[in-house]
């Protein structure tokens, strides 16, 4: 009996040890930006839910509709479920700890930088046609505001969330700004537009229905619509959310997998983009983020096959900027399996994106969100900047803020350079920074180049040294940073260097957390 127990313990220990040993691997090509092949067409899964997937999307947070907890998307329910598994690092990252472009996320500002001049253009086609009837097919009685699903003359569908009649812009402007921030980051967010809608343009569809208290569905009549819009002025201020193309499928979950989606290969709580969304939600003040704000669509590539895209919808619960965020995320953390599993590497990834929102980018976004007056616009700008700075100060001082590593050919070897995100964000003085570098064989078995210090994140590696590296084998180049006068160096970034004779490439990196 004891022998068997001993063998079982030994085997388990070996498995764990092997798992730890292979934590630093180079499974993908040595490129920072890549795409995930998750658009392989497959058959449309059978829809197992009996509700209209749009119902949940239209409902506001106050209603907290659990009735349509997504049985269509795998585990069902949402928060505080039995969530098996360990707290491990995200598993959908490439050699450079970046997320591949996929049906979940497409790198934008993190890859291409801020483009303030393009912000206004991105809202050009997200509002309904300026003229013609808006056909209302669905309405929801909200606790504070009604919501309508309309179709314009061109056949595009929009969800219209009305602002409170006495405070136009209270909901629509923060929601638009938040949607612009998330979509520029790379999340698939349905375009949000601040609009003014003439009540006279609203026309009822043939089978329009009203979703009332406790999810009760009833026929939507002219009288009910009038009563719903009773307190609204003729020119109603609202946010129009353009529905994504594709067949609506319901919400996605922040935990588990949708097994009927053949491209869904890993548990959602282990996806970096969903974990890092916690930092983004802290930036935009979206504390109530949950499955309620998510949406899957099935894109049909042929008559019988297609793939899923995963969207974030309905950011009308975003809070107005005010208090500083909790640097490690919002209060939503415990209600969201992916957020609860966020590690410091996930947070660092999110903060790298947040740091890309320059002052001019934030100002352009707030301008596009059409805040009702200058004071509230300035408050929004100040709030976003202070949240951004708080996140940067927290995470860029806990993990090494060195990024953007490059190896370029030099006169007598290669030149390694990198960006210090802390100095770029203004939280550290370039003249007060010191960097050091060490080249070693895997796992530090042999030191090939002892620590060399420099005033800038740049160092030359001579041909003599490169010639010592065995071709095709990955060596570790450790890079550390500290402020002048600081006692300790920050945790190192390990670069995997591969040599091909007199040239070398960076095959990947591993950011140490301690």
Residues binding another protein (CB under 8 A): 3, 6-7, 10-23, 25-29, 31, 33-41, 64, 66-69, 76-88, 91-92, 94, 100-102, 214-215, 265-266, 270, 301, 334, 337, 340-341
Report CA 35 to chain centroid distance, whole Å: 16
CB of 94 to another protein, least distance (A): 7
Q: E strands of 284-400, at which residues?
A: 294-300, 305-312
Coil vs helix vs strand at 507: strand
Q: Measured between alpha carbons, how far is 67 from 63 in angstroms, rounded to an integer?
A: 10
CB of 402 to another protein, least distance (A): 23
CB of 299 to another protein, least distance (A): 9
Q: Measured between alpha carbons, how far is 60 from 431 in angstroms, rounded to an integer?
A: 50
CB of 508 to another protein, least distance (A): 12
Pair of tokens at residue 243 = 């529905």
Backbone phi and psi for residue 509, each to the nearest 5 degrees, phi listed first: -145, 160
- Contacts made by residues 14-23, CB under 8 angstroms, sequence distance 24+: 23/89
CB nearer to another protein: pick between 202 and 342: 342
CB nearer to another protein: pick between 293 and 333: 333
CB of 9 to another protein, least distance (A): 10
CB of 201 to another protein, least distance (A): 33
CB of 142 to another protein, least distance (A): 15
CB nearer to another protein: pick between 163 and 291: 291
CB 183 within 8 A of CB 123: no
CB nearer to another protein: pick between 79 and 397: 79
CB of 479 to another protein, least distance (A): 23
CB nearer to another protein: pick between 23 and 411: 23
CB of 23 to another protein, least distance (A): 6
Q: Measured between alpha carbons, how far is 194 from 241 in angstroms, rounded to an integer?
A: 9
CB nearer to another protein: pick between 225 and 495: 495
Strand 157-162 relative to strand 235-242: parallel, antiparallel, unpaired? Answer: antiparallel
CB 493 within 8 A of CB 512: yes
CB of 269 to another protein, least distance (A): 8
Radius of gyration of the chain (CA): 26
In this structure, the chain runs to a length of 514
CB of 419 to another protein, least distance (A): 21
CB nearer to another protein: pick between 265 and 452: 265
Residues 6+ apart with CB under 8 A from 340: 83, 269, 333, 334
Number of Cβ within a 10 Å radius of residue 162: 24
- Residue keyed to tokens 């890549």: 34
- Residue keyed to tokens 């629509």: 172
CB nearer to another protein: pick between 111 and 199: 111
Question: What residues form DSSP beta bridges with 187?
Answer: 105
CB nearer to another protein: pick between 1 and 86: 86
Q: Measured between alpha carbons, how far is 287 from 329 in angstroms, rounded to an integer?
A: 9
CB of 213 to another protein, least distance (A): 8
Vertex 462 angle, CA 459 and 464, to 5°: 155
Coil vs helix vs strand at 512: coil
CB 353 within 8 A of CB 110: yes
Backbone phi and psi for residue 149, each to the nearest 5 degrees, phi listed first: -110, 120
Backbone phi and psi for residue 357, each to the nearest 5 degrees, phi listed first: -80, 95
CB nearer to another protein: pick between 41 and 45: 41
CB nearer to another protein: pick between 300 and 483: 300
Question: Which of 48, 52, 10, 89 shows the shortest CA–CA distance to 510?
Answer: 89
Coil vs helix vs strand at 308: strand
CB of 491 to another protein, least distance (A): 21
Question: Which of 328, 267, 349 shows the shortest CA–CA distance to 87?
Answer: 267
CB nearer to another protein: pick between 78 and 377: 78
CB nearer to another protein: pick between 123 and 338: 338
């Amino acid at each position: 009996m004891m022998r068997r127990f001993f063998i079982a313990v030994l085997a388990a220990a070996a498995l764990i040890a092997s798992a730890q040993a292979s934590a630093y691997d180079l499974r993908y090509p040595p490129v920072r930006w890549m795409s995930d092949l998750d658009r392989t067409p497959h058959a449309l899964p059978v829809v197992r839910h009996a509700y209209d997937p749009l119902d949940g999307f239209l409902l506001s947070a106050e209603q907290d509709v659990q009735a349509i907890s997504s049985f269509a998307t795998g585990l069902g329910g949402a928060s505080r479920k039995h969530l098996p598994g360990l707290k491990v690092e995200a598993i959908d990252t490439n050699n450079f700890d970046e997320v591949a472009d996929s049906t979940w996320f497409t790198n934008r500002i993190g890859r291409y930088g801020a483009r303030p001049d393009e912000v206004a253009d991105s809202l050009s086609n997200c509002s309904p046609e300026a003229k013609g009837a808006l056909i209302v097919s669905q309405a929801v009685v909200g606790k504070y505001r009604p919501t309508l699903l309309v179709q314009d003359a061109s056949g595009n569908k929009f969800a219209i969330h009305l602002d409170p009649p006495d405070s136009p812009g209270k909901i629509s402007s923060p929601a638009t700004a938040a949607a612009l921030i998330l979509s520029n980051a790379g999340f698939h967010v349905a375009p949000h537009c601040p609009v003014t809608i003439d009540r006279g343009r609203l026309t009822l569809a043939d089978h329009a229905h009203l979703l009332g208290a406790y999810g009760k569905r009833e026929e939507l009549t002219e009288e009910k619509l009038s009563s719903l819009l009773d307190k609204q002025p003729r020119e109603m201020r609202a946010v129009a959310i353009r529905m994504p193309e594709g067949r609506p499928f319901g919400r996605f979950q922040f935990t588990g997998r949708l097994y009927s989606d053949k491209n869904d290969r890993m548990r959602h709580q282990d996806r970096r983009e969903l974990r890092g969304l916690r930092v983004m939600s802290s930036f935009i003040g979206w504390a109530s983020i949950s499955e309620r704000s998510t949406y899957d669509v099935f894109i049909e590539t042929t008559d019988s096959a297609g793939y899923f895209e995963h969207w974030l919808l309905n950011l009308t619960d975003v809070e107005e900027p005010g208090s500083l965020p909790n640097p490690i995320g919002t209060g939503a953390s415990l209600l969201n399996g992916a957020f609860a599993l966020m590690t410091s590497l996930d947070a660092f990834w999110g903060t790298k994106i947040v740091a890309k929102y320059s002052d001019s980018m934030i100002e352009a976004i707030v301008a596009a969100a059409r805040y009702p007056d200058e004071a509230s616009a300035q408050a929004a700008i100040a709030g976003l900047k202070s949240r951004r700075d708080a996140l940067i100060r927290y995470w860029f001082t806990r993990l090494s803020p060195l990024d953007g590593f490059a190896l370029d050919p030099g006169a007598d070897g290669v030149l390694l350079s990198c960006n210090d995100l802390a100095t770029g964000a203004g939280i550290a003085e370039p003249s007060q920074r010191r960097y050091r570098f060490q080249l070693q064989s895997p796992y530090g078995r042999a030191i090939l180049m002892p620590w060399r210090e420099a005033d800038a994140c740049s160092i030359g590696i001579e041909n003599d040294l490169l010639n010592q590296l065995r071709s095709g084998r990955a060596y570790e180049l450790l890079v550390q940073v500290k402020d002048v006068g600081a006692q300790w160096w920050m945790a190192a970034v390990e670069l995997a260097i591969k040599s091909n004779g007199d040239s070398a490439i960076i095959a990947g990196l591993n950011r140490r957390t301690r």
